[in-house]
Amino acid sequence: MTVLYSPSQLLAADDPPPALFNAVCTACHGPAATGNVTLLSPQIAGQESWYIKRQLENYLDGRRGTDAEYKPGRQMALISAVIDTPQKLDALADYLSRLQPEVKNKSVIGDLNRGQKLYAPCAVCHGSHAEGNEQLGGPRLRNLDDWYQIGQLQQFRTGNRGTAEGDIHGAQMRAAVQLLNDDADIRDVVAYITSLTD
pLDDT in tens, 23-65: 889 999 999 999 999 999 999 999 999 999 999 999 999 999 9
d(CA 119, CA 63): 26
pLDDT value at position 103?
85
Neighbours of 87 (CB within 10 A): 11
In residues, how long is the chain? 198
Same fold yes or no, 7-98 and 112-195: yes
d(CA 194, CA 189): 9
- Cα 104 to chain centroid, rounded: 15
| Phi/psi of residue 149, nearest 5 degrees | -60, -45
d(CA 51, CA 112): 27
Q: pLDDT tens, 107-130?
A: 999 999 999 999 999 999 999 999
**For the chain, what is the radius of gyration of the CA atoms?**
17
User: Is the confidence at residue 72, as pLDDT, over 80?
Assistant: yes
User: Is the confidence at residue 8, as pLDDT, over 60?
Assistant: no
Higher-pLDDT residue of 193, 14: 193
Q: What is the CATH number of domain 7-98?
A: 1.10.760.10
CATH fold, domain 112-195, is Cytochrome Bc1 Complex; Chain D, domain 2 (1.10.760)
User: Is the confidence at residue 5, as pLDDT, over 60?
Assistant: no
**pLDDT (mean) for 64-70:** 87
Residues whose CB is less than 8 angstroms from the CB of residue 95 and which lie 6 or more positions away in sequence, other chains included: 17, 18, 20, 21
Judge contact between 118 and 127, C-beta under 8 A: no
Domain extent listing, the chain: 7-98, 112-195
Between 3-12, 25-34, 80-89, 147-156, the lowest mean confidence (pLDDT) is in 3-12
What is residue 155's DSSP assignment?
A: H
User: Is the confidence at residue 14, as pLDDT, over 60?
Assistant: no
User: Is the confidence at residue 3, as pLDDT, over 80?
Assistant: no
pLDDT value at position 198?
60
